[in-house]
A and B are shown apart, each in its own frame.
Chain A
Amino acid sequence: EVQLVQSGAEVKKPGESLKISCKGSGFSFANQWIAWVRQMPGKGLEWMGVIFPGDSDTRYSPSFQGRVTISADKSISTAYLQWTSLKASDTAMYYCARPTRGGEPPFDNWGQGTLVTVSS
């Protein structure tokens, strides 16, 4: 069974750094792209970017380029989403998901989500 299991909820202060994770199982993690999707409170879904763990090839949505870093460690089947300096506007639910067509949608499997709260 394909599973994506994300790290737990985080509460951070503005300016702090954060790295959340997404661990895959039930498939060849190194050979499957992993995407990240944001959902801000009361808002819709936004694609952030995608990574191929096998060679760390990463593509970002222009809206998120330079604001977050996507990485992966294929040896432990885990993808990451990282911030160096959080803002209150980063408060959101973040999902990892598996694209079915190379690095492209649709996304057929999703993690349970990681809620990130940034507040002073």
Chain B
Amino acid sequence: DIVMTQSPDSLAVSLGERATINCKSSQTLLHSSIDKNYLAWYQHKPGQPPKLLFYWASTRASGVPDRFSGSGSGTDFSLTIYNLQAEDVAVYYCQQYYTSPWTFGQGTKMEI
């Protein structure tokens, strides 16, 4: 199985500041023939189901504010939140879909 490792496990950032979460995969997620990285990001708030933020590593899902940014390629990826807002408090997960079983990172808890 592909192992997804996120860092840090938790992160406290002031309102209005920038937060970056890293995600590293145990093998490449880049499908070179189509030049796409099989990596998604989700936001999971307490009492709610997870919400898709990004797919193909950097394609923003519908309705996601543009202060969220996904980047990276191969084995190293990042989720950056600019101008952090109170409603961004959540656990963030990366997920690879290069190879089944589709695996998630352990999650990063974002706090203010």
Contacts and interface: CB of A to CB of B under 8 A. Distances in A.
Interface of A: 37, 44-47, 59, 61-63, 95, 97, 100-101, 104-108, 110-113
Interface residues of B, number: 21
B68 interface: no
B40 A106 contact: yes
B50 interface: yes
B55 A100 contact: yes
A108 B61 contact: yes
A48 to B, nearest CB: 9
Interface string B71-111: 00000000000000000000001010100111111110000
Given A45-B50, A110-B49, A63 B93 contact: no
A47 B55 contact: no
Interface of B: 40, 42, 44, 48-52, 55, 61, 93, 95, 97, 100-107
Contacts, number: 57
B106 A113 contact: no
Contact of B50 (A59, A63, A110): A110
Contact of A46 (B42, B97, B104): B104
A47 B104 CA distance: 8
